Structure 1
Amino acid sequence: MKEVRAIIRPNRRERLREALRAIPNFPGVSMFSAQGFTAPASVDKRSVRDELTDFTEKFMVCVLCPDDMVETIRETIIKSCSTGQIGDGLVWVLDVATVHRIRNSEPMA
């Protein structure tokens, strides 16, 4: 099992939700409000005002899925969320050792 995580622009959330729902047997998604800034902002000449307001609103996307769905989900996130601009976000994949349902302690495959 894997966890696919991404940081995306808020204005891409609905587009991503629709695209993920179109994937056959999609297992579900969690999204969280997040804040961050891109690395290029840290090397540019910046004013004090910029330093105090450099965090921008983002969403963190988390999907637990079987290994064979990772590429489809990763590609869907990239396709749905890319604008071609700095700040589009990141997507990464983590190994998940175990997952259990809270309601009945049942392990998930």
Structure 2
Amino acid sequence: WFLEACDLNVLAQSRGLWQLKQAGWFKYCKGILYGRPVLNEDVLDYSLEDALKENLADLNCQVIYDCDFGHVPPSWPIISGAIASFVFEEGKASIEYHLK
């Protein structure tokens, strides 16, 4: 999955993740890339990292956040529905699309 929240604050992002999880969207999830939101400020000492851990920690998949896509530059183009390989090593990331 790749997700990005644009202008939701951290509490709304947490609720959204919880709702997606409860609806079964992450049942077969192999990994999550989370883009950098516009509103990336803590609310009541609750951070985006807290929201991700609270809602995604038990999924048994890799979660990488603060990714370079979405509404905050630099912004990679992401092709929805494409088969892709994502590699993250030593603080650097790359995406390879497998278009057929």
For the pair shown, the structure with the greater C-alpha radius of gyration is 1
Which structure has greater helix proportion?
1
TM-score (norm 1): 0.28
